[in-house]
Amino acid sequence: MYKPNLNNVRVVLSHTTHPGNIGAAARAMKTMGLKHLCLINPSRFPDPQATAMATGADDILQNAVLCSTIDEALQGVVLTVGMTARMRDISNEVASPWDAMPKVLQEATMHSVALLFGTEMSGLTNEEASRAQLLVNIPANPEFSSLNLASAVQVIAYELAAAAQVFQPTAKALQPATHEQVEGLMEHLEKTLYEIGFFTTQNPERMMQRLRRLYARARLEPDEINILRGILSLTTEYNGRLKARYQQEYDV
Amino acid sequence: MYKPNLNNVRVVLSHTTHPGNIGAAARAMKTMGLKHLCLINPSRFPDPQATAMATGADDILQNAVLCSTIDEALQGVVLTVGMTARMRDISNEVASPWDAMPKVLQEATMHSVALLFGTEMSGLTNEEASRAQLLVNIPANPEFSSLNLASAVQVIAYELAAAAQVFQPTAKALQPATHEQVEGLMEHLEKTLYEIGFFTTQNPERMMQRLRRLYARARLEPDEINILRGILSLTTEYNGRLKARYQQEYDV
């Protein structure tokens, strides 16, 4: 019924330093049938080095989308897979490529998916990682785990193409929310938590990361987001009334 | 009992044109725990570009073995896996990386294995491919299948490391012959076939390739090689006697 659709998969490279890596990544993508490249604030692009390293994948560079923020790059995406070279302090779920890629294919039958790669030196920032519903680690030599960026793209694209060869879509009722819908909820939640004074006793950044993780695991549906935002709206409405009442009492 | 031993796996790069690819291949190897690199007549090595691209895998470049022939590179090897980007005219068995790498690990529990990569532009020559017991194709976009050499090394090394994580050695009585033992037989066989006049009606090169393929499939044991060479020795001895007899008759 639903076939894996690699056209629904975009590769997002964040703050890439070396233009040669962008070209090599484009070539790696194309060898495995991936087309859509999205670049968040690359140091230099377009660049002759990128073109030289693409060798035949120029079309991918020409169609690459330049973005200035991660949220722009993830527009319309329902599943973001972030690549990480290390296990993070906050214990996120970290999957192997072979466990993760069938999930990517499953979502890509109907929805947009992003494969998110951080900058060469330090990988994804915590903010970027927090946008991912799934973190993937390419298992590597513990004494020398630094894959070149384009090599990491090649391995992930290869694993995706390999998984596509044996892919069997599962029936699925879940209608996942888009990146914007989730971000809308997160913003609403953070604002609400400030408003009700929750952050006076908690580290806001750390707490928001924990909440993000919780909701990432849940893979929210749009209806559920509406429900949660309804609750948040009422929370502040109540809070507003309470404030007004205190004000009244104080006035009296 | 037997654990996979990546120390028994050597990567052989034949006639590499760009030194940068040698360095990038060394880096790719090291990320996946491979150490032994063997270079057959590289265009330029050592070279600053190779060192630059190795970034931290200099030890692999420093310990790389330079060879002038494929037979030198495959010394002591019992299983050679040749990488091919195309299906060959002579229908060799071509496996996927995920089917082939468990076999590599199985042999590598006790014996030396070679992963053989051809030159950038055209891959393995027919002669090189004929030295492999197993050909492997990395499945790729049919419209753009040209993986960069270092990317191909990365994918194969990754697949090997991934297979090692779930590797279960099988009990195995087979004691495979080394590359030299097989080559000794092939040389003996070719010489014998010339001597008995077999090649007067056959294309020698093509026939030897077919025979190589047959024996590659059989995965000969040293004892079997001795038996076959014994037969060949008798063949020519008989032939020699027959000749002598004809000569005698002619003389009479």
CA distances from B7 to B11, B22, B104 (A): 11, 19, 12
- Which of B59, B155, B167 should we substitute to test contact with A (largest number of A Cβ atoms within 10 Å)? B155
Residues A112-130: tens digit of each pLDDT = 999 999 999 999 998 899 8
CA distances from A137 to A124, A216, A249, A251, B6 (A): 12, 17, 57, 59, 21
Angle between helices A149-165 and A97-108 (to 10 degrees): 60
**CA distance, residue B116 to nearest chain A CA (Å):** 19
CB A26 within 8 A of CB A64: yes
**CA proximity to A129, closest of A190, A94, A82:** A82
ipTM of the shown complex: 0.76
Sequence letter at residue A22: I
Supply the pLDDT for residue A171: 65
Supply the pLDDT for residue B1: 47
Which structure tokens are listed for B95? Answer: 């496996």
Is the Cβ pair B140, A28 closer than 8 Å? no
How far apart CA B97 and CA A212 sit, in angstroms, is 37
Is the Cβ pair B148, A24 closer than 8 Å? yes
Which structure tokens are listed for B156? Answer: 């194969």
Residues A30-55: tens digit of each pLDDT = 999 999 999 999 999 999 999 999 99
- Local confidence band at B171 (pLDDT 50, 70, 90 cut-offs): low
**CA distance, residue A57 to nearest chain B CA (Å):** 8
Say yes or no to pLDDT of B219 above 50. Answer: yes
Query: Residues of A at the B interface (Cβ-Cβ below 8 Å)?
Result: 24, 27-28, 30-33, 55-57, 96-98, 138-141, 144-148, 150-151, 154-155, 158, 161-162, 165
Q: Provide CB contacts within 8 A for B66, sequence distance 6+.
A: B39, B42, B45
Q: What pTM does this model have?
A: 0.80
**CA distance, residue A140 to nearest chain B CA (Å):** 5
| Minimal-distance CA residue of chain B relative to A6 | B141
Residues B21-75: tens digit of each pLDDT = 999 999 999 999 999 999 999 999 999 999 999 999 999 999 999 999 999 999 9
| Minimal-distance CA residue of chain A relative to B54 | A148
DSSP assignments along chain A, one per residue: -PPP-GGGEEEEEES-S-HHHHHHHHHHHHHTT--EEEEES-SS-S-HHHHHHHTT-HHHHHTPEEESSHHHHTTTEEEEEEE-SS--SS---EE-HHHHHHHHHHHHTTSEEEEEE-BTTTB--HHHHHT-SEEE-----TT-----HHHHHHHHHHHHHHHHHT--PPP----PPPHHHHHHHHHHHHHHHHHTTGGGSS-HHHHHHHHHHHHHHHT--HHHHHHHHHHHHHHHHHHHHHHHHHHHHHH-
Q: Which range is least confidently modeled, A184-188, B12-16, B193-197? A: B193-197
Pick from B31, B57, B141: CB nearest A140 = B31
Residue A24: list chain B partners with CB under 8 A. 148, 151
Tokens 């040293």 correspond to B222
- Which of A17, A61, A146, A158 should we substitute to test contact with B (largest number of B Cβ atoms within 10 Å)? A158
Domain boundaries, chain A: 6-165, 179-251
Supply the pLDDT for residue B50: 97
| CATH level 3 topology of A6-165 | Alpha/beta knot (3.40.1280)
CATH architecture for segment(s) A179-251: Orthogonal Bundle (1.10)
DSSP assignments along A84-127, one per residue: -SS--SS---EE-HHHHHHHHHHHHTTSEEEEEE-BTTTB--HH
Is the Cβ pair B151, A147 closer than 8 Å? no
Q: Print the SS3 string covering chain B.
A: CCCCCHHHEEEEEECCCCHHHHHHHHHHHHHCCCCEEEEECCCCCCCHHHHHHHCCCHHHHHCCEEECCHHHHCCCEEEEEEECCCCCCCCCCEECHHHHHHHHHHHHCCCEEEEEECECCCECCHHHHHCCCEEECCCCCCCCCCCCHHHHHHHHHHHHHHHHHCCCCCCCCCCCCCHHHHHHHHHHHHHHHHHCCHHHCCCHHHHHHHHHHHHHHHCCCHHHHHHHHHHHHHHHHHHHHHHHHHHHHHHC
Instruction: For chain A of 252 residues, list the mean pLDDT of each consecutive stretch of 10.
Output: 81 97 97 97 96 95 97 94 75 83 92 96 90 92 91 97 86 78 92 83 84 81 85 74 74 64
